[in-house]
Chains A and B, each alone.
Chain A
Amino acid sequence: MTKSVDVAVIDYGMGNLHSVSKALQHISPSSHIWVGDDPDMIKNADRVVYPGVGAIGDCIGEVRKRGLDQVILEVAKTKPLLGICVGMQGMMSHSAESGGVDCLGLFPDHVEFFSEAFKQTTALAAATNNLKVPHMGWNRVAKQQYHPLWNNIEDGARFYFVHSYFVAANNCASAVGVTEYGVPITAMLARDNIFAVQFHPEKSHKDGLQLLSNFMQWDGTS
């Protein structure tokens, strides 16, 4: 029997995951934060973080190669699970990035490319003409529904985003936080014991740390 840890941060070999674990350690100094790809450690952890940076094709590829897709799907049934940025996108059904990739399907929504979305209507193309991609910087998140992870965070708080692909908020039933960047985008979404954010809470100063702190105390129910 593997000794259980308080939080497992899934490391599938892509990019910098130290920021996430450092932020978790900062808000919860006595917790055992573990970073790695061992399936048993992840399954036995009290709660799990699925982070991500980089291109989704590589990210999902690495997750599958290590057999972590099944681990994430299993964890998603039972314990508090937090997806961050590309991790959130990996929870959707499909992404247009990397030539089109099937994702884990924990949510039915699709991931789209900003520049394609901006071209869709002439009016929108005019309004979004000067919008840079990636969407990079501090944007406001409007509360759509109550959720325990919103505790002590004001409606309209700013979080740090950096992404070129997004989940449209229009038909996203699970959205609990929405931001605007030319189009309404899903910034936070949730169902049951799963919560996911497009922004980087670990880089979003006080409100980001508050959200992580809420996650650490969350029992997985809404």
Chain B
Amino acid sequence: MSLAKRIIPCLDVDNGRVVKGVQFVDIRDAGDPVEIARRYNEQGADEITFLDITASHEGRDTTVKTVEKMASEVFIPLTVGGGIRECQDIRRMLNAGADKVGINTAAIHNPDFVQEAATRFGSQCIVVAIDAKQVEPATDKHAGRWEIFTHGGRKPTGIDAVEWAVKMTNFGAGEILLTSMDQDGVKKGFDVGLTRAVSEAVSVPVIASGGVGNLQHLVEGITEGHADAVLAASIFHFGEYTVGDAKKYMAERGIEVRV
């Protein structure tokens, strides 16, 4: 096997500034997404994920400009998520230089949108983002059960996360970005049970997200969660670790990475 497991730093961007974690480090410059993306690119990041959490229209225009600037300086794959509701939004992001788009809430409200988008733009650029919470714990006989939640984990949908992931790949999703709402921000590691359940159920690559607090967590996402890629934000933003540190640590534990 020579395909490398991917490490993907994630930037949460609000009105053209990275907001998660970095604001306490260096208020002057640390919040510029292009600069941060450039730094991660130099450190050997395999992709960049850009989550647009802007609510306003003005903010969306800023996002397009930021994506354009990032794509003309950073030559690794770029995924843009947040606010992708119709084909027009996808076209706009791809034209700005994104390689893939993340679809989350819009897929839940209108699953056919995923099918339409995959047919029109190709599965390779359609990432379905799933936010899941555990609703039944694991037992000796059962791996547990997870449900899809919206509104930052506040609103249950009643949809089973594993079944949903399978449905979305059948609709043409080329990749699943899987976030555990239980673990997100807690820094105690991925929900490896959830990650494994989804990764084994679908035939497309799965990105584990939510909960990374140290480098061992990244290893566990791959070895126990069977993820194809691992996503993290704050461990990199705070300067605790570089992407290079993460790759070195993973390589020493037998995981194939691009160095």
Measured CB to CB, the residues of A under 8 A from B are 15-16, 18-19, 22-23, 25-26, 53-55, 115, 130, 132-140, 158, 160, 162-164, 179-181, 200, 202-205, 208-209
Contacts and interface: CB of A to CB of B under 8 A. Distances in A.
Contact of A203 (B72, B76, B96, B121): B76
B45 to A, nearest CB: 9
A136 to B, nearest CB: 5
A160 B4 CA distance: 10
B2 A133 contact: no
B192 interface: no
Contact of B204 (A55, A132, A160, A209): A132
Contacts of A115: 203
Interface string B96-127: 11110000000000000000000001111100
A130 B204 CA distance: 10
B133 interface: no
Nearest to A25: B72
Contacts of A19: 71, 75, 97, 99
B129 interface: no
Contacts of B41: 205
Interface string B1-19: 1111110000000000000
B75 A139 contact: no
Contacts of B3: 135, 137-139, 181
Contact of B46 (A18, A137, A163): A137
Contacts of B77: 160, 162, 200, 203
B244 interface: no
Contacts, number: 98
Q: How large is the interface on B (under 10, 10 to 19, 20 to 34, 35 or more residues)?
A: 20 to 34
Top 7 closest A-B pairs, CB basis?
Answer: A54-B122, A16-B94, A138-B258, A140-B2, A138-B4, A162-B124, A22-B72
B198 interface: no
B95 interface: yes
A54 B96 CA distance: 18
Contacts of B4: 137-139, 158
Between B6, B75, B123, the greatest number of chain A beta carbons within 10 A of the residue's beta carbon is seen for B75
B203 A202 contact: no
B188 to A, nearest CB: 27
Contact of B122 (A22, A55, A136, A180): A55
A186 to B, nearest CB: 15
A22 B97 contact: yes
B2 A180 contact: yes
Contact of A202 (B75, B226, B258): B75
Contact of A137 (B94, B121, B226, B229): B229
A62 to B, nearest CB: 13
Contacts of B258: 138, 158
Nearest to B259: A158
B228 A132 contact: yes
Given A18-B95, A160-B77, A162-B174, 12 more contacts: A15-B125, A16-B97, A19-B97, A19-B99, A22-B72, A26-B72, A54-B124, A136-B205, A137-B228, A138-B258, A164-B123, A200-B77
